[in-house]
Amino acid sequence: MADERDEIRARISIVQLVGQRVPLKKAGKDFKGLCPFHDDKNPSFTVNDRTGTYRCWSCGEHGDIFNWVMKTQNVDFVEALSILAEQAGVTLAKRGKPVDKTERASQKSAMEDALAFFRDQLAKSTDARQYLDGRAIPRDVADQWELGYAPDVGDALAIHLKKKGHTLAECKTLFLVDQDAGGGYFDKFRGRLIFPIRDERGELVAFGGRLLGDGQPKYINSSDTPLYRKSRVLYGLFLARDGLNTSRRAVLTEGYLDVIACQRAGVTGAVASLGTALSEDHAKLLRRWSDEVVILYDSDPAGQKAAERAIEVLTAESVPVRIALMPAGDDPDTLLRTQGPAAVQRSVEQGQPPLDFKINRLLERGNPNDREGFWPAAIAILAAAPSEMELDRHLVRLAGLYPGSPNPLIAQKALRRDIAIERRRRRGMNVATPQHRSSVPVTRAVSELWPAETTLFRAMIEEAHRAHAWAFLQEESLFQSNEGKALRSALVLAFADVAPEGEPKVWFHRVEPESFRDLLSRILDDPRLDRLTQPFVDDAAKRLREESESRQVAALRGTATSAEILKRLKQMKPSYERDGLDES
């Protein structure tokens, strides 16, 4: 993989990559622009094509082409590697079961042909258009979301796909058609409004369908296919990306029409899980794209139960959560139509913390006079309070409801005792809580490099002088400053006995820790060393070697016998002659 990454780095210009999203201007050797990671007023964002890195000198965001794709497209490293490999024309080594590119292209083509069929049928169907009119969904919104219609005909899509040259056996694996007992093929979606499902990259991977009239099931969704894993895709995420990049707040809804309604109401971070409960993979996806998730579910029992489940899944992935239940009897779609966009936005803004939601739900369902039912449940909820401040707030609220205790302070004391017992019980039972790994920054003393050391390191960076300078780096005794010794060791450790090859952007990432990469970048930016020559490099090594020998002689004079000093002086004849010493 390392060779693949290096090849990708060599082929892709970070200036061109970043420049697709950030207007950049030449500034000396680098390029500058407004930082996309914070509200930058004065250009503080620099991109260095030689090292293949970017850095904001205000907010501190930095990295290489892989970091850039991961952060701006909210993908993990494997996905970033795939995206950049495709751009660079680099073929990645197969890992696991190889994917037949021809087969995958055929599957994608079948999906796109199915979408074109559904879109065409929507334009022809009076019933489907009337349904959209009844939901106050105008034509431009239907086009934006690529809505379609599956006619209530047994094999209309199957016939269409076969004419397009697709094998129906393959289409069956994509949840487009199915087979009857006699082996004939029929459409999976019939008499339904069609919602195309695209993943976060915009790839068409599945469909959902809603009946226009009465009947069950009201919705059907694609099952897992070679292109689709429902536990890893959120409906609407592709169109929500820009909004999420700005707000960093995702709004989790229950279905297709809810997502569309929220987006129309200006809640641009709206997404939904698809025909399945929120999964761990969904939570990880939301964590990549947002700093907070607002759960906007219906207020009916099913919606509240689903919200509780979503809270647990998101909390386990360390995703901050708020819950914004809809008014009774409403969902985002009906609320938008009856009260307008502001009402939907208010529901989102009035979201409550999980602890409030759970306590409120307990108060709605339970009876505080029920000592055996209500209070054990309340203690279990309070014991998981994220902070003592949150706990105190709810203790004051609940103490007044505590049965048989006329004094709220006494009630609070009793509740605190029960909560302490519950927490000890959980610790004794090894109850799992989310673990947060913290990366403690390694600090080290930084001293200035000697000028001659700087020359050797700059020569090592430059391809024309690298091999020559690399030989000097093998002489550990040449380097005198603490920083020079440490950087020299880091380079030798990173590349062993062979000098790195190619431009710095290809190999800089191998130097650890990051502070050394920063130091090398500063050395590369030093204009005083722009015109290195081999004699200049040799002279730097000579001066360092002489300084090293002088120090050794000074050390010997303080500790060795005369015979040992003379023996060592013979080994260092140039310095011996320079110091005017003789053997007498």
Q: Highest mean pLDDT range out of 104-108, 168-172, 331-335?
A: 168-172
Question: Which helix (H) or strand (E) segment is 270 a member of?
Answer: strand 270-272
Mean pLDDT over residues 140-157, rounded? 95
Angle of CA points 567, 569, 572, to nearest 5°: 120
Mean pLDDT over residues 222-249, rounded? 90
Residue 565: what pLDDT?
Answer: 57
Q: Decide if 272 contacts 235 (C-beta within 8 A).
A: yes
Mean pLDDT over residues 260-279, rounded? 90
Mean pLDDT over residues 432-437, rounded? 37
Which distant-in-sequence residues (6+ apart) come within 8 Å of 246 by Cβ? Answer: 268
468: confidence class by pLDDT, cuts 50, 70, 90: confident
Mean pLDDT over residues 177-184, rounded? 91
Mean pLDDT for the chain overall: 84
Residue 344: what pLDDT?
Answer: 92
Region of poorest pLDDT, from 225-234, 291-300, 335-344, 573-582: 573-582
Phi-psi region of 319 (alpha: psi -120 to 50; beta: other; left: phi over 0): beta
Whether 124 has a pLDDT exceeding 90, the answer reads yes
Q: At residue 385, what are phi and psi to the nearest 5 degrees?
A: -55, 135
Query: Order of strands across the sheet with 30-33?
Result: 25-27, 30-33, 45-48, 53-56, 62-63
Residue 557: what pLDDT?
Answer: 62
CATH of 101-228, one of 3.90.1150.10, 3.90.980.10, 3.40.710.10, 3.40.630.30: 3.90.980.10
State if pTM tops 0.85: no
Domain boundaries along the sequence of the chain: 2-88, 101-228, 232-352, 363-428, 451-578
Residue 578: what pLDDT?
Answer: 41
Tokens for 444, please give them: 């080290």
> Which has more pLDDT, 261 or 305?
261
Whether 401 has a pLDDT exceeding 70, the answer reads yes
213: confidence class by pLDDT, cuts 50, 70, 90: confident
Instruction: Give the pLDDT confidence of 9-51 residue by residue, as tens digits.
Output: 888 989 989 988 888 998 887 899 999 888 888 888 999 988 8
2-88 CATH = 3.90.580.10
Residue 555: what pLDDT?
Answer: 66
**Cβ atoms within 10 Å of 93's Cβ, excluding its own:** 7
147: confidence class by pLDDT, cuts 50, 70, 90: very high
Residue 265: what pLDDT?
Answer: 94
Q: Decide if 449 contacts 481 (C-beta within 8 A).
A: yes
CATH of 232-352, one of 3.60.60.10, 3.40.1360.10, 3.40.980.10, 3.40.190.10: 3.40.1360.10
Whether 440 has a pLDDT exceeding 50, the answer reads no
Q: Which of 328, 327, 340 is nearest to 136 (CA)?
A: 340
